């Protein structure tokens, strides 16, 4: 009996590889960009902050509570570089007591993709929109429409794994935040 189980496990591993077996059907990567930003500066506008405040309800309804949450590493020396991604996810993190992983540089797509593939469950990635496509490509997707428009703050890109192969689908948050600072 032990020999049959061992042969079965070897066959599965040979068929899909360790990383793909872990992700097959059990990993959902949810990519969003930060909320609205000013023409100059590192923080969200009032409209972006209003979007961030509405995100917990939207993301929970669509995906539940994420098992893991990522934003690019925070370089907090003399400025607030990458603060927008952190500001965007903070209301969700506060509501569900989530740890925010900041261990990857914005442009480190290869290591980011490798890290994501070791996870299970739903993973939320709040990233700079121009740096999302390289991560998606590093996951094995080579779709021609991987450009995130500069004026699009509402899209959601979702990567799932079917038979060990990454599949991209797109959705919308459906949020139209007020530009007024009402807080």
Q: Helix (H) and strand (E) counts for the chain?
A: 6, 6
- How does pLDDT run across 100-150, given as a tens digit for each residue? 999 999 999 999 999 999 999 999 999 999 999 999 999 999 888 899 999
Q: Average pLDDT over the chain, rounded to whole?
A: 86
Q: Which residue has the higher pLDDT, 133 or 183?
A: 133
In a domain? residue 34: yes
Check residue 9 and give its pLDDT. Answer: 34
Is the confidence at residue 93, as pLDDT, over 90?
yes
In-domain check, residue 10: no
Is position 93 within any domain?
Answer: yes
List all residues 6 or more positions away from 38 whose beta carbon is below 8 Å from its beta carbon: 45
What's 85's domain CATH number? 3.40.50.1240
Per residue, the 3-state secondary structure of 98-115, as one string, reads CCEECCCCCCCHHHHHHH
Residue 86 domain flag: yes
List the single range of 10-24, 90-104, 114-128 with lowest mean pLDDT. Answer: 10-24
Residue 1 lies in a domain: no
Q: pTM for this one?
A: 0.84
Q: Is residue 70 part of a domain?
A: yes
Query: DSSP string of 48-60?
Result: HHHHHHHHHHHHH
Q: In sequence order, which ranges of 24-108 are alpha helices (DSSP H)?
A: 46-63, 83-96
3-state secondary structure of 151: coil
Range of the domain at 60: 19-172
pLDDT interval class at 25 (50, 70, 90): low
pLDDT tens for residues 63-73? 999 999 999 99
If one counts the domains in the chain, the total is 1
Q: Per-residue pLDDT for 177 more than 80?
A: yes
150: in domain: yes
Percent of the chain as helix, strand, coil, to the nearest 5: 40, 20, 40
- Is the residue at 122 inside a domain? yes
Q: Flag whether pLDDT at 172 surpasses 80.
A: yes
């Amino acid at each position: 009996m032990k020999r049959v189980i061992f042969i079965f496990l070897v066959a599965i591993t040979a068929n899909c590889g360790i990383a793909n077996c872990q992700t097959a059907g059990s990993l959902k990567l949810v990519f969003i960009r930060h909320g609205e930003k000013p023409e100059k500066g590192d923080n969200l506008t009032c409209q972006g902050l209003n979007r961030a405040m509405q995100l917990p309800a939207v993301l929970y309804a669509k995906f539940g509570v994420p098992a893991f949450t990522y934003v690019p590493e925070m370089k907090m020396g003399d400025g607030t570089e990458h603060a927008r991604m952190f500001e965007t996810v903070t209301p969700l993190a506060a509501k569900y007591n989530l740890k925010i992983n900041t261990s990857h540089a914005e442009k480190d797509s290869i290591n980011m993709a490798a890290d994501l593939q070791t996870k299970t469950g739903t993973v939320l990635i709040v990233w700079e929109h121009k740096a999302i496509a390289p991560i998606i490509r590093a996951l094995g997707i080579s779709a021609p429409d991987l450009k995130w428009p500069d004026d699009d703050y509402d899209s959601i890109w979702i990567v799932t794994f079917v038979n060990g192969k990454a599949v991209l689908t797109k959705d919308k948050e459906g949020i139209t935040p007020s530009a007024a600072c009402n807080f």
